[in-house]
Structure 1
């Protein structure tokens, strides 16, 4: 038997095969898109703190990953015979095939998306929560976009599977490529010639869409993008001999923490901490590693809920409220997010959103929380970037910046919400020594402007020159607190002297500076 190449090539001009190929494209694209949306929803449900949602999602994934697609196709196509009302949705072989594919593929894509969600770091979620974004907006704008990019290669592979799985729809008489091919070779018995043409059609479809997937992957990968050109030179203004008057530890209390306790896995990290922060005051928290400094500052915006004690910010209980009976009850995540909007947070490792530009990082929260219009937020964002010397980098992405630049953008992002108090958690500890000064310069400028700040740091020069009040923590408790001159002076506690000597080469001051300035 001789292979008929002429007939094989003639099939590429057959209108019925091209029509079938078009139907496969439409069916595959619709199934992939709908399954993606459903898969993301199922993945979020599966990771939800709600046991009901998690159980429903787990049950769905278990059931539809267990059922063969062929069974779903036949079931979906024939169910109108038992339940005639379903014919409105399942009245054609195309709709039956689409529903069966979506039911099956959603279960697989849910696991792919769940892997993507798990790959997004907890720091990204915390940075979004610290801006006051509620759970839904955190997922929509921060977690899901990053998770989708991570999962895209696997999702592209799943699209290839869908294209090939459409061939099973021939069992319910859908006029897809394989069924048209079968109809042709039953007429002329040229089985191999026909199937070769059918195979080439599938290869062409998969190749085209694989290229589109690669194009989308490159589009979403911000690491491949070239740095935007600077429109002006970067400049961090160095001020000489211009300090600020030391503020008294008195006046309006913006933050009041009393008897704060916190434990992790039975280990008590905070042991009844008392700290007050007044309007316009700079409170610096120092102490050896493991003394509870970071945990304390994280409780001040409820990223770490305190186990006991009272924390008030702007006169409101943080994370709680008094009910009608005068009892304290926990607030919902939505209400806590409202409180966080008044407490800016700058993290040790910057935690900028990698899929957004510098300006988008700054404007995201004000726009999404309807604090400003898009235009207002962009103008205000550019003003803030200019304040921290980063306006020339507004169109760049975080990976295109140095560590010091990223931290300055993080400061601008926190300031964009116009918080009543700013929290800094070791803002320079992740930086190379030559980059520390540029961040300290920005912090010193904020202090001069009268912005209320709580700063956890090992930079003793910052504590001596900028702080109005210093809190020394040791073993989860406040060992001593007071103005810098009392903690760093000649009569300082020996424990503080030893600590300062271990973290700083600078000598301990022996007199009170009249005017402090961080810049040379």
Structure 2
């Protein structure tokens, strides 16, 4: 038996096949897009806090990944026998096939999305929270864009799977490619030629969409982008457009409340009690360095200040008003308002990798509409980047910068909302020694400008030079709270002797 090439070629001018191809494309695209959205919802439910929601999503994924699509298609198409009211909708082969495909693919898409969500590091959530962005805002602006970029190759592969699975819908007489081919070879018995043409049509559809998705992947691949350092003429224009932020209030006046008051703060992780009745008052404009051995509770303490860690006991008061109380509901209006008055710089920078440096600095101000005018927000962001010496890198992405530069961007981002208090969680510990100085200089400039700051640090000389007070924490309690002058004095008080010993302040330095 010879292969009928003339017949094979003629099938590519047959309108029925092109109409069937359009049906395959329409069904595939709709199924993929709907499953993409529903799968993300199921994946989010899979990671939600309520146990019933997690359980329901797990059952859904388990069930629809277990049932073969062919069985599901036949079941959905025949569902009107049980529910006649559904006949007007599910009696349509295209609709029935779409519903069945979406039900099955949502389960697979959910697991793909879950992998993408789990790949977004926890620090991205925390950075969004520290900027006062609510949960849905963090998801929309920070988490979802990154998760989709991570999951895109697997999502593209799932689309190709959907295209091929549309052939199963022929079982309910949908006139897609396979059904069209079956009708032809049932008449002329040219099975091989007809199925070969069907295969070519599928290859053509997959090839066209593969090229399209390659372009999309190339477009969203931030790592491949290489914006250059701005030249001097462009810098001059940006400096001309830059505008300083509103002036910060002066230092504490007599009778005014503390900027921050922490009362009887307790925090435990399981059986490990990390904070044990901390009492700490911070005056406006005061700079406090918190030092201590690893595991002493330093980072846990400042993370309670902006709600990254909950309190087991105690209260935090911000400028004389109750801000966080142990056991109270999270995400209250008072708490959200307070978080916006507190900027935080993380040890690991936590810049948003999918956004440029300028976009990183502007993200929170755009979300909060602070100020309301976009041009003013951009002008202030440019001013902050110039302030930290990175205006020339405004259009670059975080992966193009050194660690020291990334940390300076993080400082500019934290300053964008004009906070009253700045928190620094070991801002130099992740940096190479030669990059430490550039970050410390920016922090020193903020101290001289009167910014209220709590700094967790291992830079002892820097702490003595910049701080109004140095707090030593050990085993979850404050062992010493003294000014640099008192530390350098010759007093024999045990607390001062301990802090001198920890900081390496020698007797000759004290003398």
TM-score (norm 2): 0.91
Q: CA deviation at 1:246?
A: 11
1:366-445 aligned within 5 A: 366-373=365-372, 374-445=374-445
The residue number in structure 2 matching 1:324 is none
The residue number in structure 1 matching 2:200 is 200
Q: Indicate the larger mover: 465-474 or 399-408.
A: 465-474
Deviation by residue 1:19-50 (Cα, 9 ceiling, x = unmatched): 11111111111111110000001000110012
Contact kept, 8 Å, 2:252 with 2:283, in 1: the verdict is no
1:252-291 aligned within 5 A: 252-291=257-296
Structure 1 runs not aligned, ≥5 long: 236-244, 321-327, 512-520
For the residue of structure 1 that corresponds to 2:404, the secondary structure is helix
How has the CA–CA distance of structure 1 residues 260 and 451 changed in structure 2, closer, same or farther, with 3 Å as cutoff? same
Q: Indicate the larger mover: 213-222 or 420-429.
A: 213-222
The residue number in structure 1 matching 2:239 is none
Q: What CA distance in whole angstroms lies between the structure 2 residues aligned with 1:345 and 1:195? A: 63
Q: What CA distance in whole angstroms lies between the structure 1 residues aligned with 2:88 and 2:422? A: 58
Deviation by residue 1:489-513 (Cα, 9 ceiling, x = unmatched): 3437332222222xx9x997448xx
Contact kept, 8 Å, 1:249 with 1:468, in 2: the verdict is no
Q: Indicate the larger mover: 273-282 or 222-231.
A: 222-231
Q: What CA distance in whole angstroms lies between the structure 2 residues aligned with 1:157 and 1:249? A: 67
1:175-324 aligned within 5 A: 175-232=175-232, 252-320=257-325
- Does residue 359 (structure 1) correspond to residue 358 (structure 2)? The answer is yes
Q: CA deviation at 1:108?
A: 0.7
Structure 2 runs not aligned, ≥5 long: 237-249
The residue number in structure 2 matching 1:46 is 46
Contact kept, 8 Å, 1:428 with 1:439, in 2: the verdict is yes
For the residue of structure 1 that corresponds to 2:471, the secondary structure is strand
Q: What CA distance in whole angstroms lies between the structure 2 residues aligned with 1:27 and 1:319? A: 52
How has the CA–CA distance of structure 1 residues 33 and 369 changed in structure 2, closer, same or farther, with 3 Å as cutoff? same
Contact kept, 8 Å, 1:94 with 1:174, in 2: the verdict is yes
For the residue of structure 2 that corresponds to 1:2, the secondary structure is coil
Contact kept, 8 Å, 1:319 with 1:331, in 2: the verdict is no
How has the CA–CA distance of structure 1 residues 508 and 258 changed in structure 2, closer, same or farther, with 3 Å as cutoff? farther
The residue number in structure 1 matching 2:499 is 496
- Does residue 330 (structure 1) correspond to residue 324 (structure 2)? The answer is no
Q: CA deviation at 1:310?
A: 2.1
Q: CA deviation at 1:359?
A: 1.0
Q: CA deviation at 1:387?
A: 1.2
Contact kept, 8 Å, 2:251 with 2:284, in 1: the verdict is no
Q: What CA distance in whole angstroms lies between the structure 1 residues aligned with 2:89 and 2:203? A: 31
Contact kept, 8 Å, 2:251 with 2:450, in 1: the verdict is no
Q: What CA distance in whole angstroms lies between the structure 2 residues aligned with 1:486 and 1:363? A: 41
Q: CA deviation at 1:340?
A: 1.5
Q: What CA distance in whole angstroms lies between the structure 1 residues aligned with 2:508 and 2:255? A: 26
Q: What CA distance in whole angstroms lies between the structure 2 residues aligned with 1:234 and 1:252? A: 42
TM-score (norm 1): 0.89
Q: What CA distance in whole angstroms lies between the structure 2 residues aligned with 1:85 and 1:368? A: 46
- The alignment covers a number of residue pairs equal to 492
Deviation by residue 1:223-279 (Cα, 9 ceiling, x = unmatched): 1111333234999xxxxxxxxx99999953011112212222311211221111111
- Does residue 144 (structure 1) correspond to residue 147 (structure 2)? The answer is no
Q: CA deviation at 1:386?
A: 1.2
Root mean square deviation, CA, Å: 2.4
For the residue of structure 2 that corresponds to 1:132, the secondary structure is coil
How has the CA–CA distance of structure 1 residues 250 and 427 changed in structure 2, closer, same or farther, with 3 Å as cutoff? farther
Q: What CA distance in whole angstroms lies between the structure 2 residues aligned with 1:109 and 1:319? A: 39
